[in-house]
Amino acid sequence: MSQISTSIGKILDAVPHLRRGPGGVVGVVKDGECIGLRAWGYADLDQCIPMTTKTIFPICSISKQMVCLAMVSLLKNPTAAMTARNEETNKQFDQELKRLLPNLDVSELKLADLYNMQSGIRDYWAMTTLWGARPDGQFSLLHDADEALKRIKSFHFKPGTEYSYSNVNFHVLGRILENVSGMSLAQLLAERLFIPAGMTTASLNPNTYGLPLPIVGYEGTEKTGYFAATNRIEWAGDAGIAASLEDMVAYEKYLDRSLSESESFYTESSQAQKFRDGKAAAYGYGLARFEIAGKQAIGHGGALRGFKHERLQIPSERLSVVVMHNYETPPNVPAEYVVKQMVGFKEPEHPDLVADGEWKGDYLDPDTQLCISVKDGDREKPNTLGISYGPGTGEEAVTLTSEHEAASDSMKLKLEGDTLHVQRLNENRTLKASRLPPLTEDDLASTVSSDYTGTYHCDESESTFNVTGDHGTLYGSFDGFLGKGPVWLMRRIGKDIFLLGNPRGLDSTPPGDWTVVFSRKDGEKVEGCTVGCWLARNVAYVKK
């Protein structure tokens, strides 16, 4: 302990420089004790208010694991209202699940599919784009949440068979806990977690427009400059908790104590989960499982426009790290840096390979109807590639393991001619995507815009897709119960295949590129299309 304590200051001094921005905090817990805290920069740049370890952040999706702890608590210690019904707690939860999703066949949906991200329900924050939301628009728990749930009428995969991140899972879970327990989610979290853990300033704060002062979240970069982010959504269950670094350190100490108790809530919720086919799942109870520095880790990130956070725990080392930023640069790098420095990890050497042009291009997976784009990777690492498939505008990095194979912790790729095989290890899915022939400038210029322009409608989601443009340039916008959305740029990548850019959404991380695949009747007139992203696949529209 003494050796780590004397070096931790030097380790933490490096953290602000790894991913620079307006302000942030980092805390480290080892063997149940806090051994280091750092705060740097500003909570509010305009008012010159310094960041401190007491500054309260919206911790965003880190809330999910806390909601699961409240759920396990209710299963073990039901409220008086639950006991009075004289029914098993699980049965009460299942009945409420059916009531909250009135237009969805939930016969094969289990409660565990929600908190393990295996429900197959499309993410409602992604779907808000198709419902006409603007990035800085409002989303009300009172007025909009139920409307969103009414429009959930199908799955994009069979429950229990795959993993796909979906915030609606935890929104529904939070509602179930409230309605069954007879207590508000805020009360449940305070009584069953915040008070026992000593999180003295933590609370449920669903309204992102009214964040606890003085914190301000920032969009932008050092090159573009930083500007205050606008958030006007309400969320609870999938996010909504606000806490300081000192609260989070108290939480980590509480979890460390809990792991030594075989009957604790966290001992149960931190166990690895499985898919229906028996394969191990990398996500469960609001916790992701991954490897850092050769050690098994569990944790979760959190994001809202203007904020990015990471908390992770290495149970074998009794080591936890929390990093929170009031800017949008992901903090996983600094969090992992702390772990690697503390355990003395050295990066492994990779084969001396260089990615050539054979890999690069756009591929279409016929099942998901999603595009997979392969690009150059890190310029300083010529043996890497950048893969665009998941949410957001960033890329997933993979490292070449042979001339035609590449891998990361979560993905394996194999290139066979014009076929790209992709094993999404954490998702329990294998993609078999075909290369789209590259388009020339003449191909793009000769695009017949009138083939595609018009109005398309999806009855299931009650969404209208408007395609406009001329001279080969197309634009798309969506109308729905949330209003008339902004116009987004569309880019042709293949025959009747386009990408619709969605770099900003109500939530963070945004959907990124939606793949739009148009279909023709008898190979001639366009009659419809599918619109999809990793968070919400295969949404079918018919041309009017």
pLDDT in tens, 272-296: 999 999 999 999 999 999 999 999 9
Cβ-based neighbour number of residue 509 at 10 Å? 22
Residue 357: the pLDDT is: 84
Which tens digit of pLDDT belongs to each residue from 295-307? 999 999 999 999 9
> Does the structure show a pLDDT above 70 at 139?
yes
Phi-psi region of 160 (alpha: psi -120 to 50; beta: other; left: phi over 0): left
Q: Are strands 218-221 and 225-228 parallel, antiparallel or unpaired?
A: antiparallel
> Does the structure show a pLDDT above 70 at 14?
yes
CA dihedral 181, 182, 187, 192 (to 10 degrees): -20
Prediction pTM value:
0.96
Which tens digit of pLDDT belongs to each residue from 493-517? 999 999 999 999 999 999 999 999 9
Active-site hit among 7, 10, 54, 61? 61
> Does the structure show a pLDDT above 50 at 2?
no
When pLDDT is cut at 50, 70 and 90, the band that residue 237 belongs to is: very high
Residue 378: the pLDDT is: 84
* Of 41, 39, 50, nearest in space to 23 by CA: 41
pLDDT more than 70, % of the chain? 99
> Does the structure show a pLDDT above 50 at 424?
yes
> Does the structure show a pLDDT above 90 at 6?
no
* Of 64, 1, 29, nearest in space to 256 by CA: 29
> What is the spatial distance between Cα 452 and Cα 469, in angstroms, rounded to a whole number?
9
> What is the spatial distance between Cα 220 and Cα 327, in angstroms, rounded to a whole number?
8
Residues 6+ apart with CB under 8 A from 147: 481
> Does the structure show a pLDDT above 70 at 201?
yes
Helix (H) or strand (E) holding 71: helix 63-76
Indicate if 76 belongs to the active site: no
| DSSP-assigned beta bridge partners for residue 517 | 497, 530
**Mean pLDDT value across residues 229-246:** 98
pLDDT more than 90, % of the chain? 94
Residue 355: the pLDDT is: 81
Which tens digit of pLDDT belongs to each residue from 443-478? 999 999 999 999 999 999 999 999 999 999 999 999
Indicate if 184 belongs to the active site: no
Which tens digit of pLDDT belongs to each residue from 389-403? 988 888 999 999 999
Q: What share of the chain is helix, strand, coil (3-state, %, to 5)?
A: 25, 35, 40
> Does the structure show a pLDDT above 50 at 192?
yes
**Mean pLDDT value across residues 52-59:** 99
Mean pLDDT of the chain: 96
Active-site hit among 30, 63, 64, 164? 64
The values of phi and psi at residue 398, to 5°, are -125, 155
> What is the spatial distance between Cα 328 and Cα 304, in angstroms, rounded to a whole number?
8
> Does the structure show a pLDDT above 70 at 212?
yes
Residue 5: the pLDDT is: 44
> Does the structure show a pLDDT above 60 at 534?
yes
